[in-house]
Amino acid sequence: MSTATLTYQLGDRQVPRMGYGAMQLAGKGVFGPPADEARALQVLRDAIESGVRHIDTSDFYGPHITNQLIKKALHPYPHDLCIVTKVGAVRNSKGGWLPAFSAEDLTRAVEDNLRNLGLEVLDVVNLRSMYDVHQPAEGTLDEQLEALAALRDKGLIRHIGLSNVTAKQVVDAQKITPIACVQNLYNLVNRKDEALIDQLAVQEIAYVPFFPLGGFTPLQNNRLNEVAQSLGATSMQVALAWLLQRSPNILLIPGTSSPQHLQENLAAAELKIPAEALETLNQIGAAQ
Ligand SMILES: NC(=O)c1ccc[n+]([C@@H]2O[C@H](COP(=O)([O-])OP(=O)(O)OC[C@H]3O[C@@H](n4cnc5c(N)ncnc54)[C@H](OP(=O)(O)O)[C@@H]3O)[C@@H](O)[C@H]2O)c1
């Protein structure tokens, strides 16, 4: 069976493991509109036509722009599309990222997401921890999760997830609400979440790595390039295929503003990395 046909549970749905991350559709610095709106809309429509059924977004991309593009390109949505958004931050007038963590902030963020996406209920809402904007940092999320659980009980959210969190925060969160997915930084060279991925796999909870290709500066590694050449694939495709082979609970949301890169990324779901090449790739992260 090809990897492309494999799915995993995300909220109420089984989604193909290769999804799409919409953050790159906003302007430079994830701020303001895209340079080429028609191209952004095309990427979204191509993704759906090619079978993507998991789109990751947030109302703080742009802000508002990414959600508005998704609505413009895809509404009314396919019945089996899972749109995952996140709350917990806002942007200032210069594009800076600020925590927005009060119950009122979270309620406003959910309402903004609903309006800008044109939805009556959000499939999955990730609470993005902002104790440290760049990396997971300990701190209670109880009040924020209770606020989101209340919005779920009001029927505005179906499922709650977490982003930029520690393993302890996941355990603590599960005392308040079921957690549908965890979205943290993880890729071939950033492997701090190895134990958390395995722990979530046992619980059958999706792990969704952000920056799967390295983020704003895509991964550059000689051994990755050599493996890619030997497999007749691009380095980005190998980086994605490696994640798919890492654990069955990993769902991918590579970001791109390019129709061509989108197709390359989707094709990575067909790539099977042989054992020897896998071992070489595994050593890249282990050496960090
Ligand atoms: N929870 C969080 O805190 C958080 C943080 C960051 C991101 N995210 C989510 O994670 C998703 C993925 O992260 P990301 O988009 O920032 O980073 P990424 O997927 O690791 O990489 C995106 C970068 O790779 C380039 N790229 C994509 N496909 C390529 C290909 N086939 N060949 C060469 N270059 C390629 C893109 O440029 P082009 O546009 O030119 O293709 C872009 O510069 C985001 O869309 C967002 O939804 C979440």
pLDDT by residue (tens digit) across 14-53? 999 999 999 999 999 999 999 999 999 999 999 999 999 9
Query: Considering 8, 20, 61, 186, which one is annotated as catalytic?
Result: 61
Q: Answer whether residue 170 is part of any domain.
A: yes
- Residue 261 in contact with ligand 1 by CB distance below 6 A: yes
- pLDDT for the residue 232: 98
The tokens 């920056």 sit on which residue?
Answer: 211
Strands 97-99, 122-128: pairing kind: unpaired
What are the strands, taking DSSP E only, across 188-241?
206-207
- Respond yes or no: is residue 131 known to be catalytic: no
Indicate whether 230 belongs to any domain. no
- Tell me, yes or no, whether 282 lies in a domain: no
Distance 249 CA to ligand 1 centre (A): 20
- For residue 213, the ligand 1 atom closest to its alpha carbon is 20
Any domain includes 227: no
Question: What's the pLDDT score for residue 285?
Answer: 84
The low-confidence residues of the chain, meaning pLDDT below 70, are: 1-5, 287-288
Looking at residue 84, which CATH number applies to its domain?
A: 3.20.20.100
pLDDT at residue 1, as a whole number: 36
> pTM for the complete prediction?
0.97
Residue closest via CA to ligand 1's atom 27 equals 256
> Is 136 a pocket residue for ligand 1 (Cβ < 6 Å)?
no
Side chain identity, residue 14: Q
Nearest CA to ligand 1 atom 4: 210
Rounded to the nearest angstrom, the distance between the alpha carbon of 168 and the centre of ligand 1 is 27
The domain total for the chain is 1
For residue 24, is it within any domain? yes
Residue type at 154?
K
Does residue 232 belong to any structural domain of this protein? no
| pLDDT given at position 4 | 44
Cβ(212) to ligand 1 under 6 A?
A: yes
Q: What is the pLDDT of residue 286?
A: 72
Residue 260 lies in a domain: no
| Separation CA 272–CA 255 (nearest Å) | 21
Residue 152 maps to a domain: yes
Question: What pLDDT score does 3 carry?
Answer: 46
Q: According to the model, what pLDDT value does residue 288 have?
A: 53
Q: What is d(CA 222, CA 20) in angstroms, rounded to the nearest whole number?
A: 26
Mutate to test the pocket of ligand 1, among 211, 235, 243 (most ligand atoms within 8 A of CB): 211
Provide the domain limits for residue 82. Answer: 3-217+247-254
How many angstroms is it from 254 CA to the middle of ligand 1? 5
C-beta separation of 149 from 127 below 8 A: no
